[in-house]
Structure 1
Amino acid sequence: MQNSIKSAKGSTVLRNHSRQSPLEYLKKHYFLYLLLTPALLLTLIFKYGPMYGAVIAFKDFSPIKGIIGSEWVGFKHFDKFLSSPNFELIFMNTLNLSLFGLILGFPVPILLALMLNQVRRARMKKNIQLFLYAPNFISVVVVVGMLFIFLSPTGPINQLFTSITGEPIMFMSRPEYFRWIYILSDIWTGAGWASIIYVAALANVDPELHNAASLDGANLFQRIRHIDIPTLRPIMAIVFILAAGGIMSIGFEKAYLMQTSMNLPTSEIIPTYVYKIGLQSGDYAYSAAVGLFNAVINVILLVTVNFIVKKLNEGEGLY
């Protein structure tokens, strides 16, 4: 009898809630929306507001005439970029650097999280996490400075090579080494911090599942495969989609700081090209067109990868 009364009350509450208009719901929960207001304002001002400036990619922009007064030129700047002799080199450098970085860097945080999950001593686990997270807080300028010091002809790494081969290797000057130095240093600085989300997900796994699997004779790798990996799969899908969607958005600062006149054949990428053309040469409209082209490629990759992941992952995707 009591259960019937409770269910009747519950259904009445649901009906009353469904009858509420959006305005009534907003009045009732207005304080929650007020808390959301600063984030919405920041997003509108700093994310959506600057989108208006992208219109200069279709204009012969002049700072004196302004955005509105500048003459429309359509896709002139896009045609100029696509037909330029440097387009293939810059595009492939950007794609290769980001693609190899994704392939090599994506599994590392997952492996770190799986290994950290096997550490049972809380104090030791915290010390290891501190050691892994620390590189993320080192400035990009400091990281690049460390690379130049360690990989210089008189640096500690080259001293080792010199003792073996008799001559140093010019790591920072030879184009074939730039990509590997960039990617491996990125993994070193970011993998530990990126593993936090996976460590948090594994903390929610019921220990009884592992105990039951151990009693059934499952070894460590079988428990990881059948318990831990399925737990991480939804997060892995979302992180992979976001990473693939930003595959053309490589960090400008690090690539620019690592550039030398000798390694330009592999270090010149779209962000550094936009900086040089836009700020150093003052061709704002052309650099805006190049940046917009890069953004469109990212959106296409995001939608495509999300569609593929949803097909392969039983409908689980970013949206």
Structure 2
Amino acid sequence: MQYAQVEKKVNNKTVTNIMSCFFKAILKYKFLYALMLPGIVWYIMYRYLPMFGLIIAFKEYNFALGIWDSPWVGMKYFNYLFSSSEFYTVLQNTVVINMYNLIFGFPAPIILALLLNEFKNMFFKRTIQTVIYFPHFLSWVVFGGIIIQFLSPNEGFVNQIIKYFGGDPIFFLTQSQYFRSILVVTNILKEAGWGTIIYLAALAGVEQEQYEAATVDGANRWQKLIHITLPGITNVIIIMLILKVGYLLDVGFEQIFIMYNPAVYDVSDVLSTYIYRVGIQDLRFSLTTALGLFQAVIGFILIYGVNSIAKKYSDVSMW
């Protein structure tokens, strides 16, 4: 009995000390915490509070009744999803397109950053950076419209070249065999330049003394790249890869919505566009909430799994 009382007093004292240290830290770094406050409020309002709506996935949601008074249906919509052939087609398209983006799109900013890092002429380097960054600031409405015009069978620049060499115009955006490749290439054109910022920042942190020592040892540029540059940014590459895999079931809605059409639904309809068509247009909110919850759970499992693998085989992880 006496031991229990002593232990309780020790625990209470420990909690008190922790709280005291916590508040002291807040007072000491109050301005830094004040800078964090808008971001914290934004996350609470737009990321955590909307999670309340996830219960719609387990209800027969009715506008008139509201969320609380709508009747519970349990796993009805999950059972419907997993028994629907359309769901598996959409899921397959999402995974395939994201795998293409991962295989071809993920290395693109790394390669661009490595190339830019080799430029010694700062004016030329900054000019190239500006040019490749610019597409990121265009909305997909604008950028997608430019791509559609470029690939137009009548007036498009690409088909004009094909016709110049005696070929027949190709309806790129209405043929399934071309559409996924167009999605991947246009995504690289738009976002790869912006992605180089992270890797250029990582490259700036590589110690120049290593390059100087390698030069003294007679290493050429390729050897410096393999043995100094890439190892210097490996940690950043792993972190970015973990984040990328976490979005394996999340394909950008705007890009596909702007560029796709019913002729290529079989290869282009993904989870985000399916949620829009079924949830917004057909007003089946319970079904699409169930699909969104499934998407979030799988994303969490993927990012947790990849992070565990990275932690096991390297010194880098998200947590």
Normalization by structure 2: what TM-score?
0.91
* Whole-Å separation in 2 of the counterparts to 1:22 and 1:137: 41
The match for 2:47 is 47
Q: Does residue 106 of structure 2 align to residue 98 of structure 1?
A: no
Aligned partner of 2:312 in structure 1 is 311
Output the amino acid matched with 2:124: M
* Cα distance in 1, alignment partners of residues 290 and 205 from structure 2: 46
Cα-to-partner distance string for 1:270-301 (whole Å, 9 max, x where unaligned): 11010011110011111111111111111111
Partner residue of 1:273? 274
Establish whether residue 152 from structure 1 lines up as the match of residue 141 from structure 2.
no
Q: Who is 1:125 aligned against? A: 125
| Matched residue, 2:141 | 141
Of 161-170 and 98-107, deviating more is 161-170
Letter in 2 for 1:105: G
User: 2:291 is matched with which residue?
Assistant: 290
Separation in structure 1 between the aligned mates of residue 90 and residue 19 of structure 2, nearest angstrom: 57
**Secondary structure of residue in 2 paired with 1:212:** helix
Query: Distance in 2 between the 1:312 and 1:109 partners?
Result: 24
Cα deviation digits, residues 230-262 of structure 1 (max 9, x gap): 111010011000010011111111111111121
Q: What is aligned with 1:72?
A: 72
Q: What is the CA-CA distance between 1:19 and the residue it aligns to?
A: 11
Query: How many residue pairs end up in the alignment?
Result: 302
AA aligned opposite 1:221: W
What SS does structure 2 have at the residue aligned with 1:71? coil
In structure 1, list runs of 5 or more residues that go unmatched: 1-16
**Distance in 2 between the 1:92 and 1:63 partners?**
32
Paired position in structure 2 for 1:12: none
Runs of 4+ displaced beyond 4 Å: 17-20
Secondary structure in 1 aligned to 2:283? coil
How many percent of aligned residue pairs carry the same amino acid?
38
Name the residue aligned to 1:171. 172
For residues 65-96 of structure 1, what are the alpha-carbon distances to aligned partners after superposition, in whole Å with 9 as ceiling and x for unaligned?
11100111111101111111212211100000
Query: For residues 193 and 61 of structure 1, what CA distance do their matches in structure 2 show?
Result: 41
**Paired residue for 2:246?**
245
Cα deviation, residue 165, structure 1: 4.8
SS at match of 1:192: helix
Q: 1:183 & 1:75 partners in 2: Cα distance?
A: 35
Deviates more, 1:287-296 or 1:28-37: 28-37
What is the DSSP-based 3-state SS (H/G/I as helix, E as strand, rest coil) of the residue aligned with 2:85?
Answer: coil
Report the Cα distance in structure 2 between the residues aligned to 1:280 and 1:76, rounded to whole angstroms: 21
Amino acid at match of 1:43: Y
- In 2, the alpha carbon distance for the partners of 1:18 and 1:272 equals 48
